[in-house]
Amino acid sequence: MHRARKRFGQNFLQDNGIIYSIVALINPGSDMHVIEIGPGLGALTLPLLNNLDHLDLLEIDRDLVAFWNEKSLEGLTVIEGDALKFDFLAWAQNRADKQGLCKVVGNLPYNISSPLLFHLVAAASHIDEQVFMLQAEVVERMVAKAGGSDFSRLSVMLQARYDMELVLEVPPEAFDPQPKVNSAVVRMIPRRDFALSNAQWSSLEKVVAAAFSQRRKMLRTNLSAFADRLSLTETELKARAQDISVDRYIEWAKVLAS
């Protein structure tokens, strides 16, 4: 039996009620293209495969790659690799040529969740939906609204690109081994109104990183490098990064990129 490995952040889902809820949320259909990140022992994999013609698995643990390859399940492709280096855009473009929705799903390792979410943004133009289980604290930051203490760089960058919703809370006892934190499931759908160029997105990254660089300081200080180009109001100069809306950050990014 495969034992969960701490270095890969492995915690295997085993609560059938939670598993059923997540699979229902993904709503797999025969013509859908799905890649699952970190399948573990197959809590989601097997129910998904029962409803799909084909399922791709992305796994970094060689023992688990061997575990899945030995099963020789029809319709299953096992890809050995690091999700942080995997080309999700190329995968989605390849699958999009075959018609049907493209979805990325998984119980993401907590130790790489934020960098992986940023890595996936590059493929958002060709992905229809992402459904992930993450540390609840991370999901709360992802969906937080401006003005709240959870509103962060992660909130702004992901909300600029996706419509997101916390859809399910998952207690530690749903896993083996039990993590020390609560988990939650988030649904992420790329925004249809997204229209930022690469230069504008790069400017958004810069201005948001600067704004949140010292959370307790006013934007007068944090955005001083951009002061001559951004016409900040007196209210904005005295505000903190968490008080500014996603749309306003996007406006600033467009100004900086022009």
Q: Where are the domains of the chain?
A: 6-190, 198-257
**pTM of this structure:** 0.91
Query: pLDDT (tens digit, 9 = 90+) per residue, 153-200?
Result: 999 999 999 999 999 999 999 887 787 889 999 999 999 999 999 999
pLDDT for 10: 53
pLDDT for 7: 47
pLDDT for 16: 87
| Arch. (CATH architecture) of 198-257 | Orthogonal Bundle (1.10)
Query: pLDDT (tens digit, 9 = 90+) per residue, 245-257?
Result: 999 999 999 999 9
* Sequential DSSP letters for the chain: -PPP-GGGT--EE--HHHHHHHHHHH---TT-EEEEE--TTSTTHHHHHTT-S-EEEEE--HHHHHHHHHH--TTEEEEES-TTT--HHHHHHHHHTT-S-EEEEEE--GGGHHHHHHHHGGGGGG-SEEEEEEEHHHHHHHHPPTTSTT--HHHHHHHHHEEEEEEEEE-GGGEESPPSS-EEEEEEEE-TT----HHHHHHHHHHHHHHTTTTTS-HHHHTGGGTTTS---HHHHHS-GGGS-HHHHHHHHHHHH-
Per CATH, domain 6-190 is 3.40.50.150 = yes
| CA–CA distance, 79 with 145 (Å, rounded to integer) | 37
Segments in the chain below pLDDT 50: 1-2, 4-9
